[in-house]
Chains A and B, each alone.
Chain A
Amino acid sequence: MTIDGTDWLVILAGLAAIAWVNWYFFVAGRTSAAAAVSVGGGPGTGPQEQTITVDGGYSPAVVTVKAGRPVRLVFDRKDTGSCSEEVVFPDFGIRRFLPAGERTIVEVTPPAAGRYDFTCGMSMLRGALVAED
């Protein structure tokens, strides 16, 4: 087995591709500022509401809210993939079916500050409710 010029090219391209894949999915996604939104920052006792578009993912994926107050999340499901047909809030024992093309409301009250993840039925899509004091 001899490693010629073409082989070196393929090896380098391959390594670069692997690096890019891991950067794109693991690093770039985390730092994307557009994925997070903060609601209910002001004083008051009204419900904190946020619409989350479900289309191959949740946007915004991270919703920051005030702890101890009700949160109303409106899931607007645009896609028809069976992966996204359910949204699960394990901490609240909620598994809600999201009919395609419809808006489904999920209401929870984060009891304390902390991160409350939500996922699709198969935990491929991920989002989080971050409650702050």
Chain B
Amino acid sequence: MSSTTSTTSSAVTPGVTSAGAAPAAAGGTPEAIRIPVTGMTCAACSSRVQRALQQQPGVTDANVNLMMKTATVRFDPGTVTPDRLVEAIKATGYGAELASPDQSAFEEQMARDRAGATEFRELRSKAIVSGVIGVLAMVLSMPLMRQMTSAAGPHTHISDPFMRWVMAVLDPILLAALPWLYAIPPVLVLWLLLLGTLGVMAWAGRHFYTRAWAAFRHHSADMNTLVAVGTGAAFLYSVVATVAPSFFLRRGVQPDVYYEAVVIIIALILTGNAFEARAKKRTASALRALVQLQPKTARVVRRGLDGADVEIDAPIETVEAGERVVVRPGERLPVDGEVLSGESAVDESMLTGESLPVAKKPGDAVIGGTINRTGAFRYRATTLGADSVLARIVKLMRDAQGSRAPIQRLADRISGIFVPVVISIAIATFVVWFVAVESAPAVRAFAAAVAVLIIACPCAMGLAVPTAVLVATGKGAELGVLIKGGEALQRAGDLRTIVLDKTGTVTEGRPTVTDLVVAPGSSRQADDVLRLVASLERLSEHPLADAIVRRARDRGTPLATPEAFESVTGRGAVGVVEGAGVAVGNAALMQDYAVDPAPLAREAGRLAMEGKTPMYVAIDGALAAVVAVADPIKDTSREAIRRFHALGLEVVMLTGDHRRTAEAVARQTGIDRVVAEVLPDGKLAEIERLQAEGKVVAMVGDGINDAPALAKADVGMAIGTGTGVAVEAGDIVLMRGDLRTAAQAVTLSRRTMRTMKQNLFWAFIYNVIGIPVAAGVLYPAFGVLLSPILASAAMAFSSVSVVTNSLRLRGARIA
């Protein structure tokens, strides 16, 4: 699945960029754009559009394809903009708009938020107004009901139990407070209610009916169908009772009206929808926070008119790769880049979850969207726009939300058939009540059927899993863990075994001098030895040599240029530094130069046992020291492995290194099992072997060398290394090279699975219990009957409760 997704998206990307409305780049190079044109029916149409485009200043070539219904235009972005071209097409009378398949994640999120905000405001005002009208309608219905009950005698039912209760409580109060209300002729009240209800239905509830109708035409049905059928039926029943009460009276049925119920149902469902809209907005808050990290302008150094460099604030879209960008303390970095001059500490917590600012010096990579803390610096812009780290993360999170968790399949299948089944149940409910009940059968059958339609809620089922995925991926991003979708979440929740690559995952991935032991009786100081050895090793290309040179540089030791240098393959290096003969290497090298390594042999043996690589140093023919180089274990690895164990995971380490080194690392970190000296495809085989044992296996690796193993594992976790993160690799990306975040990913996934299961259970059980109760199954035994109004309240808040439960993940403590 994950491999399919990645190939697909990469296959799509080229098409997207070529077709997209590319931002107008300054510089005068012509650009091509494809604009979809609508309304063209003949060759004459297309040639007219083509002519109009060709006449535009700045257009070098325009070609309109009638079959494809597109205009391909080459233009000079300095003279004319894509928007202008669209205007030109529209002026000819045909329709055109810029295709934006590359609609950036930022824009999409903003558009989505705008739409969400409008929807919320609209729902809120509609809910408030219809709520007020609903209360008024209820008050107006009071005298009506009193009249009907007294006229028809004590056996008459107020079919709606909720209204019966309201009646019992409010009627006496109302009669005392507003006696004139009871003097209004009932016919007038009825017509007033009819008009008021019609108004609410046509204004506040309009979308229920229009959407239900649109769905009906497509032979499909959704929540709107249920609301529309339920309230529509109740309204029609009431209208007949108002306009032609004799129709019911002749059949011995009390002409009951449901106006207040219709209005209140609409008001309650709108209220629920408004709350839901607001809660759903909060599920995407993490993504929104990421989107807002992107500054709008950048301070770049450009050549002014007088030829001197000037710093100007430029819109972010106009910044080009290679330009110099200036940031001051406290500012957000506008684009990705590489530090040219200056030093600072940069707060990258918003992207990596790393709480401490990261020191930056010339040559270091910086990421757009992070905050510069201490010093000012200049850097060279590298990746921009859709290729920037931030844009890629946002896109990745957006895609994650498009995925589906396998756990959702059942819910999907049910929501597909849900509404027609509920309508069938409502009809059956009506029939059973009508046939079985002796007194006022139609009225009670009707109330029960409407209650069934209103209480059924397919939305809660549809929201159960996606909202949890949304909140969990957002929560993950805050922790520096990018989870690429519901399937990854679900599998990470089922993990039994976690396989770690050694180099770069458990260890720093960079050999470092760990020990320098001066030979007993040697007159040399440790610093002196280091300076001589590092000076010699400057000319060596061996990774171990690099570690020694780095150590000397870090300590600020001035290095000399060796007068002579020779590399001895498989043994080490020899040369002359500052007139002293220096040899660095293994015991064999020492023996070649007649130096006895015995005084330090025990020390060297101990270092080797610890998984380090010891090297002897001889200066002027005398044993001077032993230097040990090792790839140090990350500070966080030991704690991470303890957490894996606490989660009940078996921890396996894979490495191409020597068994002794690997076992030393395993011993020090508490890893259960080591598979050493494996070739890259050996890693793949090892994962297959674990999977064959029936285990759900995660692989944590750097995403570049370990890519095949990551793809093979049930959950591939790409871990950030010193140089960056391969965010496209794996199912889960650990933004900072902290193995503890892998444990957090597992914890978060398990928590999320629990939330999904709770949501699904609640959504199912709500309908499984609610629908029969509304149908009246409890009535024969307990006399319990659900009012349509109560049903609408339950329905309105069932989906809100699911979203709210998902939102609880935001506050979950993920250790």
B211 A81 Cβ-Cβ under 8 A? yes
The CA-CA distance from A72 to B210 in the complex, in Å, is 29
CB-defined contacts of A124 to chain B, threshold 8 Å: 220, 222-223, 415-416, 458, 462
Q: Does chain A have a CB within 8 A of B399? A: yes
Q: In the complex, what's the smallest C-beta–C-beta distance from B271 to chain A, in angstroms? A: 15
Known: A95-B398, A104-B103. A83 touches B222 (CB 8 A): yes
CB-defined contacts of B223 to chain A, threshold 8 Å: 83, 124
Q: Does chain B have a CB within 8 A of A29? A: yes
The CA-CA distance from A104 to B103 in the complex, in Å, is 9
Q: Does chain A have a CB within 8 A of B355? A: no
Q: In the complex, what's the smallest C-beta–C-beta distance from B15 to chain A, in angstroms? A: 5
A109 B8 Cβ-Cβ under 8 A? yes
The CA-CA distance from A125 to B403 in the complex, in Å, is 16
Q: Does chain A have a CB within 8 A of B146? A: no
Say which residue of A32, A57, A91, A111 sits within 8 Å of B214 (CB atoms).
Answer: A57
The CA-CA distance from A3 to B434 in the complex, in Å, is 10
B220 A103 Cβ-Cβ under 8 A? no
Q: In the complex, what's the smallest C-beta–C-beta distance from B731 to chain A, in angstroms? A: 11
Known: A70-B11, A81-B211. A25 touches B403 (CB 8 A): no
Known: A100-B115, A111-B7. A122 touches B459 (CB 8 A): yes
Q: Does chain B have a CB within 8 A of A41? A: no
Interface size on A, residues (CB 8 A): 64
A55 B214 Cβ-Cβ under 8 A? yes
Interface residues of B in 389-431 (CB under 8 A from A): 398-404, 411-412, 415-417, 419-420, 423-424, 427-428, 430-431
Q: Does chain A have a CB within 8 A of B768? A: no
Q: In the complex, what's the smallest C-beta–C-beta distance from B475 to chain A, in angstroms? A: 18
CB-defined contacts of B403 to chain A, threshold 8 Å: 90, 93, 95
B435 A10 Cβ-Cβ under 8 A? yes
Q: Does chain A have a CB within 8 A of B217? A: yes
Q: Does chain B have a CB within 8 A of A96? A: yes
Q: Does chain B have a CB within 8 A of A1? A: yes
B435 A3 Cβ-Cβ under 8 A? yes
A14 B401 Cβ-Cβ under 8 A? no
The CA-CA distance from A14 to B433 in the complex, in Å, is 12
The CA-CA distance from A26 to B417 in the complex, in Å, is 8
Complex interface bits, A106-133 against B, C-beta within 8 A gives 1, otherwise 0: 1111010000000101111110000000
Q: Does chain A have a CB within 8 A of B192? A: no
Task: Name the residue of chain A whose CB is nearest to the CB of B463.
Answer: A122
Interface residues of A in 29-45 (CB under 8 A from B): 29, 32, 35
CB-defined contacts of A104 to chain B, threshold 8 Å: 100, 103
CB-defined contacts of A99 to chain B, threshold 8 Å: 111, 115
Known: A17-B427, A46-B68, A107-B101. A92 touches B8 (CB 8 A): yes
Task: Name the residue of chain B whose CB is nearest to the CB of A97.
Answer: B112
CB-defined contacts of A7 to chain B, threshold 8 Å: 434-435
Q: Does chain A have a CB within 8 A of B97? A: yes
Say which residue of B99, B423, B485 sits within 8 Å of A93 (CB atoms).
Answer: B485
The CA-CA distance from A59 to B12 in the complex, in Å, is 24
A14 B36 Cβ-Cβ under 8 A? no
Known: A93-B403, A123-B415. A56 touches B68 (CB 8 A): no
CB-defined contacts of A72 to chain B, threshold 8 Å: 15, 19, 101
A93 B9 Cβ-Cβ under 8 A? yes
Q: Does chain A have a CB within 8 A of B5? A: yes
Q: In the complex, what's the smallest C-beta–C-beta distance from A23 to chain B, in angstroms? A: 10
Say which residue of A15, A29, A107 sits within 8 Å of B219 (CB atoms).
Answer: A29
The CA-CA distance from A83 to B207 in the complex, in Å, is 12
Known: A11-B431, A90-B404, A94-B402. A107 touches B15 (CB 8 A): yes
Q: Does chain B have a CB within 8 A of A88? A: yes
The CA-CA distance from A72 to B767 in the complex, in Å, is 39
Q: How many A-B residue pairs have CB under 8 A?
A: 174
Complex interface bits, A63-93 against B, C-beta within 8 A gives 1, otherwise 0: 0000000101010000111110100111111
Q: Does chain A have a CB within 8 A of B305? A: no
Q: Does chain A have a CB within 8 A of B4? A: yes
Say which residue of A94, A106, A122 sits within 8 Å of B462 (CB atoms).
Answer: A122
The CA-CA distance from A82 to B207 in the complex, in Å, is 10
CB-defined contacts of B99 to chain A, threshold 8 Å: 103, 105
Known: A21-B424, A107-B15. A95 touches B401 (CB 8 A): yes
B15 A92 Cβ-Cβ under 8 A? no
Q: In the complex, what's the smallest C-beta–C-beta distance from A103 to chain B, in angstroms? A: 7
Q: In the complex, what's the smallest C-beta–C-beta distance from A51 to chain B, in angstroms? A: 9
A111 B220 Cβ-Cβ under 8 A? no
Known: A57-B218, A105-B100. A91 touches B111 (CB 8 A): no
The CA-CA distance from A11 to B411 in the complex, in Å, is 32
Q: In the complex, what's the smallest C-beta–C-beta distance from B644 to chain A, in angstroms? A: 28
A95 B220 Cβ-Cβ under 8 A? no
The CA-CA distance from A49 to B65 in the complex, in Å, is 13
Q: In the complex, what's the smallest C-beta–C-beta distance from B113 to chain A, in angstroms? A: 10
Q: In the complex, what's the smallest C-beta–C-beta distance from A114 to chain B, in angstroms? A: 11
Complex interface bits, B140-169 against A, C-beta within 8 A gives 1, otherwise 0: 000000000000000000000000000000
CB-defined contacts of A3 to chain B, threshold 8 Å: 435
Complex interface bits, B187-229 against A, C-beta within 8 A gives 1, otherwise 0: 0000000000000000000010011111111111111100000
A49 B68 Cβ-Cβ under 8 A? yes
Q: In the complex, what's the smallest C-beta–C-beta distance from B21 to chain A, in angstroms? A: 11
B404 A88 Cβ-Cβ under 8 A? yes
Say which residue of B11, B97, B428 sits within 8 Å of A18 (CB atoms).
Answer: B428
The CA-CA distance from A123 to B466 in the complex, in Å, is 10
Known: A97-B111, A108-B12. A14 touches B399 (CB 8 A): no
Q: Does chain A have a CB within 8 A of B16? A: yes
A56 B215 Cβ-Cβ under 8 A? yes
The CA-CA distance from A38 to B430 in the complex, in Å, is 43
Q: Does chain A have a CB within 8 A of B108? A: yes
A121 B466 Cβ-Cβ under 8 A? yes
The CA-CA distance from A97 to B631 in the complex, in Å, is 47
Q: Does chain A have a CB within 8 A of B436? A: yes
Q: In the complex, what's the smallest C-beta–C-beta distance from B39 to chain A, in angstroms? A: 13
CB-defined contacts of A46 to chain B, threshold 8 Å: 68
The CA-CA distance from A3 to B212 in the complex, in Å, is 35
Q: Which of B7, B214, B416, B419 has the most CB of A within 10 A?
A: B214
Q: Does chain A have a CB within 8 A of B604? A: no
A91 B222 Cβ-Cβ under 8 A? no
CB-defined contacts of A106 to chain B, threshold 8 Å: 101
A90 B7 Cβ-Cβ under 8 A? no
A57 B427 Cβ-Cβ under 8 A? no
Sample (16) of A-B pairs whose CB atoms are under 8 Å apart: A10-B434, A21-B424, A25-B220, A26-B420, A47-B15, A56-B214, A72-B15, A83-B223, A88-B402, A95-B399, A95-B401, A103-B36, A104-B100, A105-B19, A121-B462, A123-B412
Given contacts A99-B111, A103-B99, 16 further A-B contacts (CB under 8 A): A1-B435, A11-B431, A15-B431, A21-B423, A21-B427, A29-B219, A35-B218, A56-B220, A58-B218, A79-B211, A85-B112, A93-B402, A93-B485, A95-B403, A106-B101, A125-B220
Minimum-distance CB pairs A-B, first 4: A56-B214, A57-B218, A95-B402, A29-B219
